[in-house]
Structure 1
Amino acid sequence: MNKPVPPHAPLLEYYEAPAKRSDFVRNLFNRTAESYDGINAAFALGSGPWYRRRALRQAGLAPGARTLDVAIGTGLVAREAAAILGGTRDLVGLDLSEGMLAVARRQLGLTLVQARAEALPFADASFDFVSMGYALRHVADLSALFGEFRRVLRPGGRVLVLEIARPEGRLAHALLRGYMGAVVPALSRLSGRESATLMRYYWDTIEACVPPAEIIARLGEAGLAQVGCATELGMMRAYSARCPG
């Protein structure tokens, strides 16, 4: 059995042991689901609706594509996918958090499934497009995740993973750390203590996440082809790939 490849080392100030991480993340998102859309604007960093929709189009999403949005959250990426697809008939959302799914269910009329991203409950070759928005840092195993993406994709299917990466330059890193690590949690506290915790955790996972080169390598190792990564503002990353065939 292959050794798991986590996106970052354990952050034990938030949970007692690595085995507790998944429960911590699920419960944290459950407790902040109702306020998530409100605080999202504070840390969007240019990743608003226009950016998400453009990234989906550039990755190859087009009407008629059977689409799976992994870690759908409240539906921020799925909403833009639906606009491209012309509705939600061909769109399925998946998330581990029942709280997030409850919000998405109220806002979007689409099929929703509660499950882990590393164990997708779908048959092989079920989808033409798989997306994931800003949730890569919350899974337990990158290799398992990308392996599942490849398994459920039809030949020629496309992948898009949106993420925020730690900037390489010192000044850019310091500015982002000050904003994401201090300003955003302070603003989020207006929505409640748990929202501030979520934003601190969000930044800490960005700080600790493996570099983009490792993510690109893992996509390739999963058997995906034409792996690429578009970068904006030095930190916004759009990873794309294609299922061979």
Structure 2
Amino acid sequence: MIEPSPQLPHAPLPAYYRDEADHARYVRRIFDETAVDYDRIERAMAFGSGGWYRREALRRAGLKAGDTVVDVGIGTGLLARQACALIGDQGRLIGVDPSPGMLAQVNLPGVELRAGRAEALPCADGEADFLSFGYAFRHVSDVDAALREFHRVLRPGAKLLILEISQPESRLSRACVKFYMRRIVPTLARFVSRERNSAELWRYYWDTIESCIPPAQILQAMERAGFIQVQRHTELGVFSEYTAVK
């Protein structure tokens, strides 16, 4: 029996890596090397509004006090920090990331950190009431495998939130966002970062956004994984919130 080809989140980007195996190594390396700068650049890029937006997105997705959350691609903990504030002392948060450099930057007492990838989560079946995946969808190696894992880890009735940046629909808006993300942000990164590769990370960030599969395909993949009530909400025409229920 022939195994189906993995559903990639975007076309290969030869400017950064040679093949899919090299892609996984590249993503881990670039995030390891730039982890110390990530929060600083994000605050400058989002003009300090990132925390507020993440918390509101979690609220809209139905995160509540006492929930057990698995935050996939926890990174430095930007989304997890807001989730912890919402779930309170009675809640539990498990953060998963393949990058040791990113995990080393997480400073959230009580959060359990686990090394792992979205396609093979180090979590038990039905472990979570809520699973979040913030701005890391474009970095997986297999969209369908990751979504099947999300479905497995959630209990029946549990909720999924995927945050991503999508290209605006209008040509002018796309040009403006591209200029900001591809030119302004990397330039800003060079001024405020300590690691020389931080500017490269943010160029790569936009290039993956530009080549990512369209929102309709993401919604279809969520349904293929078995999710129901699959929806997409957008803010400012750029910030996509994909939600669903197991």
TM-score (norm 1): 0.95
Q: Is the 8 A contact 1:229 1:237 kept in 2?
A: yes
Write the letter of the residue equivalent to 1:164.
I
- TM alignment of 1:15-34, pairs within 5 A: 15-34=17-36
Offset at residue 65 of structure 1 (A): 1.2
Partner secondary structure for residue 105 of structure 2: helix
Using a 3 Å threshold, how does the CA distance of structure 1 residues 187 and 140 change in structure 2: closer, same or farther?
Answer: same
Partner secondary structure for residue 42 of structure 1: helix
- Aligned equivalent of 2:196: 193
Q: Separation in 2 of the partners of 1:75 and 1:88?
A: 19
Partner secondary structure for residue 117 of structure 1: coil
RMSD over aligned CA atoms reads 1.4
Question: Runs of 5+ in structure 1 lacking a partner?
Answer: none
Q: Is the 8 A contact 2:136 2:164 kept in 1?
A: yes
- Aligned equivalent of 1:202: 205
Using a 3 Å threshold, how does the CA distance of structure 1 residues 203 and 42 change in structure 2: closer, same or farther?
Answer: farther
Offset at residue 18 of structure 1 (A): 2.2
1:217 aligns with 2:217: no
From 17, 20, 41, the equivalent of 2:43 is 41
Q: Separation in 2 of the partners of 1:82 and 1:225?
A: 26
Q: Is the 8 A contact 2:135 2:162 kept in 1?
A: yes
Using a 3 Å threshold, how does the CA distance of structure 1 residues 232 and 58 change in structure 2: closer, same or farther?
Answer: same
Q: Is the 8 A contact 2:115 2:122 kept in 1?
A: no
Q: Is the 8 A contact 1:79 1:108 kept in 2?
A: no
Q: Where does structure 1 differ by over 4 angstroms across 4 or more consecutive aligned residues? A: none
- Aligned equivalent of 2:133: 132
1:147 aligns with 2:148: yes
- TM alignment of 1:223-242, pairs within 5 A: 223-242=226-245
Write the letter of the residue equivalent to 2:28.
R
- Aligned equivalent of 2:163: 162
Partner secondary structure for residue 193 of structure 1: coil
Q: Separation in 2 of the partners of 1:29 and 1:73?
A: 8
Q: Is the 8 A contact 2:148 2:225 kept in 1?
A: yes
Q: Is the 8 A contact 2:66 2:91 kept in 1?
A: no
Offset at residue 189 of structure 1 (A): 1.1
Q: Is the 8 A contact 1:226 1:241 kept in 2?
A: yes
- Aligned equivalent of 2:67: 65
Write the letter of the residue equivalent to 1:33.
A
Offset at residue 47 of structure 1 (A): 5.9
Offset at residue 239 of structure 1 (A): 0.4
- Aligned equivalent of 1:100: 102
Greater shift after overlay, 44-53 or 61-70? 44-53
Write the letter of the residue equivalent to 2:240.
R
Question: Runs of 5+ in structure 2 lacking a partner?
Answer: none
Q: Separation in 2 of the partners of 1:214 and 1:43?
A: 28
Offset at residue 193 of structure 1 (A): 2.3
Q: Separation in 2 of the partners of 1:155 and 1:52?
A: 24
Q: Separation in 1 of the partners of 2:98 and 2:90?
A: 20
Give per-residue Cα distances to partners, 1:22-57, cap 9 Å, x unaligned: 010001000000110000123337861111111111
Q: Separation in 2 of the partners of 1:46 and 1:161?
A: 21
Q: Separation in 1 of the partners of 2:90 and 2:59?
A: 16
TM-score (norm 2): 0.95
Give per-residue Cα distances to partners, 1:113-143, cap 9 Å, x unaligned: 0011110121211111000110000111110
Q: Separation in 1 of the partners of 2:165 and 2:221?
A: 17
From 7, 32, 37, the equivalent of 2:9 is 7
Aligned residues: 242
